[in-house]
Amino acid sequence: MRVFLAACRHILCILMFVLVVIGPSASAFDNSGEGLLIGVEPEHNIFEQIERYRILAEYLSKELGINVRLTVMSRYGELLKRFKSRRLDGAFLSSYTAAMAFKQLNLEPVAMAVNLKDNAFSQGYLFTRKDSGITAAKEMQGKSIVFVDPATTEGYLFPLVWLRQNGVKDKERYFSRFSFSGSHASAIFAVLDGKADIGCAKSTVYNRQITKDPTIGAELRIIAESAAVPETTLCLKKDIPGEVKQKLLAILEKMTSTERGRSVLHNIELLRFVKAGDSDFDGIAKMIEIVEKP
């Protein structure tokens, strides 16, 4: 049943991406009044995500005095490929995509979202079923593993680093099968339902699922955890006027000081936004170096 529901949600997510864009689908920041077009990477429940970001876009448009539009991508990493064709001005990005965007798209970090646990960071979890008997890398040989997406830190980069540090350099030979689930929650359910022996996901999604269903925690075992990495960061093109970026950051940081701002934060399930910097992504750069070594 879990697999069937997950598959249905995945299909609906794709359909919603085709049908729904939060605002006009193409524009770039300039002085003609077209405003800012910001991309958003997908979450497991894209319906809730679209509504949350619609509320945020309306708030930012009013406070900034510039029309802010948000468009949700269909999968992780797609934003890197479509940034220029969609003429995006920036994006809310996960840590790995952000690190790559700094290099490839000349973006810079502006603000990080702080979740309801008062944390702007997440970790990668590598996990198995407790009844699998798997507790170390040496016991994974010949088993199956499910990753999230090649463009995720917690769902791909971290597990590759951990495997390499534990003597596994060739995943294709070491595992009987590997696959990509497309979302962190789907990777969790794949292991729960026995579709994969090992899985990986980010801590915030993993812990959220356990809060909803404590039996998940009773069935799964976390084998390894990554260092903390930024979960969601608003990144903008460097050529956007500095005064626009500074005003946008100030609006985001001051949302907690007004009733309307607090209401929007409540609706998008965040505590606040805080300033982001290049140093927040140093850990991802180090992981990329490890994986790229021959």
Any domain includes 294:
no
Pick from 280, 269, 200, 268: which is nearest to 233 by CA? 280
User: Which percentage of the chain shows pLDDT scores above 90?
Assistant: 71
Same structural domain for residues 183 and 242?
A: no
Residues 6+ apart with CB under 8 A from 131: 219
The token duo for 293 is: 């070594």
DSSP 157: I
Same structural domain for residues 281 and 187?
A: no
Look at 66-70, 71-75, 111-115 and tell me which has the smallest mean pLDDT: 71-75
Same structural domain for residues 216 and 242?
A: no
Residues 6+ apart with CB under 8 A from 104: 80
Answer with the one of 208, 226, 244 that is the final residue of a domain. 226
Q: Report the pLDDT value the prediction gives residue 43, as an integer from 0 to 100.
A: 66
Position 262 confidence tier, pLDDT thresholds 50, 70, 90:
very high
Question: From the CB of residue 235, how many other CB atoms can be counted at a distance below 10 Å?
Answer: 23
Answer with the one of 188, 208, 226 that is the final residue of a domain. 226
Same structural domain for residues 140 and 112?
A: no
Q: Report the pLDDT value the prediction gives residue 16, as an integer from 0 to 100.
A: 37
Helices 46-64 and 2-19: angle between axes, nearest 10 degrees: 40
Average pLDDT over residues 11-24: 37
Per-residue pLDDT tens for 217-260? 999 999 999 999 999 999 999 999 999 999 999 999 999 999 99
Give the burial string for 236-271 (b: 16+ CB within 10 Å, else e): bbeebeeebbeebbebbeebeeeeebeebbeebebb
Q: Report the pLDDT value the prediction gives residue 70, as an integer from 0 to 100.
A: 87
Q: What average pLDDT does the structure give for the chain?
A: 87
CA max distance for the chain: 62
Domain hosting 236: range is 2-120+230-287
Average pLDDT over residues 198-207: 96
Per-residue pLDDT tens for 123-174? 999 999 999 999 999 999 999 999 999 989 999 999 999 999 999 999 999 9
Same structural domain for residues 113 and 140?
A: no
DSSP 22: B
Same structural domain for residues 76 and 141?
A: no
Residue 77 has pLDDT above 70, yes or no: no
Answer with the one of 196, 226, 256 that is the final residue of a domain. 226
Same structural domain for residues 112 and 172?
A: no
Same structural domain for residues 34 and 167?
A: no
Q: Report the pLDDT value the prediction gives residue 1, as an integer from 0 to 100.
A: 44
Antiparallel, parallel or unpaired: β 90-93 and 36-40: parallel
Same structural domain for residues 218 and 253?
A: no
In angstroms, the CA 30 to CA 195 distance is 49
Q: Report the pLDDT value the prediction gives residue 83, as an integer from 0 to 100.
A: 83
Q: Report the pLDDT value the prediction gives residue 76, as an integer from 0 to 100.
A: 67
Same structural domain for residues 60 and 204?
A: no
DSSP 131: G
Any domain includes 292:
no
Question: In which element (H, E) is residue 20 found?
Answer: none
Residue 11 has pLDDT above 90, yes or no: no
Antiparallel, parallel or unpaired: β 198-202 and 144-147: parallel
Q: Report the pLDDT value the prediction gives residue 14, as an integer from 0 to 100.
A: 35
pTM of the predicted protein model = 0.82
Q: Report the pLDDT value the prediction gives residue 23, as an integer from 0 to 100.
A: 43
Any domain includes 273:
yes
For the chain, the domain total comes to: 2
Same structural domain for residues 201 and 69?
A: no
Average pLDDT over residues 185-199: 97
Q: Report the pLDDT value the prediction gives residue 141, as an integer from 0 to 100.
A: 97
Any domain includes 6:
yes
Q: Find where tokens 């864009």 sit.
A: 21
Any domain includes 149:
yes
Average pLDDT over residues 259-276: 95
Same structural domain for residues 86 and 214?
A: no
CATH value at residue 180: 3.40.190.10
172 against 51, higher pLDDT: 172
Per-residue pLDDT tens for 52-62? 888 999 999 99
Average pLDDT over residues 30-57: 76
Any domain includes 73:
yes
Per-residue pLDDT tens for 105-124? 999 999 999 999 999 999 99
Any domain includes 293:
no
Residue 22 has pLDDT above 60, yes or no: no
Any domain includes 176:
yes
